[in-house]
């Protein structure tokens, strides 16, 4: 249901004097029934569509009777020939154009209602698309954050392991240097029984090298 039909259903009445039979009267709410428009579940049009004519085409909004729809009324009202005239004169010109084309005001109003319904449906579709996109992106962001946390945790563990390896290697090398000095001292002491200091291949003080 369009907003026009909804207003009529709430008690608002539209009275016109150019109904098809020429009599004045109230327009029934079902005259503006927009059930003929399909309710799209999706749209191929972009979210930032600039021309609603594409929306009307996608929704299969029927062409207005004899070309006299809401857009035609706008053209007449905004024409340069009528722009400077009083509002009442411009309205009279529109009504005269409709009468000449054998088109009633309610038929123009229905054209507007159909177009409003098409735009409303398009916006509803895009709202669902935006919400679905938001949910997908939020889920992806959460997954990426989890991946980052896992990656950072793994790399921190790797860094800690490398640091431990460095510390272990440094400690082992210090012990190797100590054992080297001890072994050199042992060799020098053994050779000292047989040769003097000048002939000893392990000179005094070598224990302090490294």
Determine contact, residues 106/31, Cβ cutoff 8 Å: yes
Residues making up the chain, counted from first to last = 210
User: CA-CA distance, 131 to 141, in Å (whole number)?
Assistant: 15
User: CA-CA distance, 28 to 69, in Å (whole number)?
Assistant: 19
User: CA-CA distance, 32 to 105, in Å (whole number)?
Assistant: 12
Determine contact, residues 59/37, Cβ cutoff 8 Å: yes
Q: pLDDT tens, 62-75?
A: 888 888 888 888 88
User: CA-CA distance, 97 to 78, in Å (whole number)?
Assistant: 14
Site of tokens 């024409």: 79
The alpha carbon dihedral of 190, 196, 202, 207 has a sign of positive
CB atoms within 10 A of CB 92: 13
Distances (CA, A) of 178 to 86, 144, 168, 172: 109, 51, 15, 10
Q: What is the mean pLDDT of residues 17-29?
A: 49
* Residues in Cβ contact with 48 at an 8 Å cutoff, skipping those fewer than 6 apart: none
User: CA-CA distance, 55 to 46, in Å (whole number)?
Assistant: 10
User: CA-CA distance, 55 to 61, in Å (whole number)?
Assistant: 9
Let me know the angle formed at the C-alpha of 134 by 133 and 140, rounded to the nearest 5 degrees. 90
The token pair at 20 is 């098809």
Residue-level pLDDT at 27 = 53
pTM: 0.61
Q: pLDDT tens, 73-107?
A: 888 888 888 888 898 888 898 899 889 988 888 88
Beta strands, E only, the chain: 15-16, 25-26
Cα 148 to chain centroid, rounded: 23
Residue-level pLDDT at 34 = 56
Site of tokens 């050779």: 191
Residue 16 three-state SS: strand
Q: What is the mean pLDDT of residues 1-18?
A: 48
């Amino acid at each position: 249901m369009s907003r026009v039909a909804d207003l009529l259903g709430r008690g608002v009445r539209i009275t016109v004097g150019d109904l098809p039979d020429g009599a004045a009267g109230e327009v029934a709410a079902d005259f503006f029934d927009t059930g003929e428009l399909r309710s799209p579940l999706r749209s191929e049009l972009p979210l930032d569509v600039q021309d609603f004519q594409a929306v009307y085409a996608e929704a299969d909004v029927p062409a207005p009777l004899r070309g006299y729809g809401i857009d035609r009324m706008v053209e007449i009202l905004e024409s340069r020939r009528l722009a400077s005239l009083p509002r009442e004169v411009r309205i009279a010109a529109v009504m005269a154009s409709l009468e000449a084309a054998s088109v009633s005001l309610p038929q123009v109003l229905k054209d507007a209602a159909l177009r409003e319904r098409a735009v409303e449906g398009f916006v509803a579709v895009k709202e669902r698309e935006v919400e679905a996109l938001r949910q997908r992106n939020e889920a992806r962001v959460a997954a990426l954050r989890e991946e980052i946390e896992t990656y950072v945790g793994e790399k921190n563990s790797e860094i800690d392991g490398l640091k431990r390896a460095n510390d272990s290697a440094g400690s082992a090398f210090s012990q190797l240097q100590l054992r080297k000095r001890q072994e050199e001292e042992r060799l020098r002491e053994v050779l000292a029984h047989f040769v003097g200091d000048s002939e000893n291949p392990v000179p005094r003080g070598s224990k302090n090298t490294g």
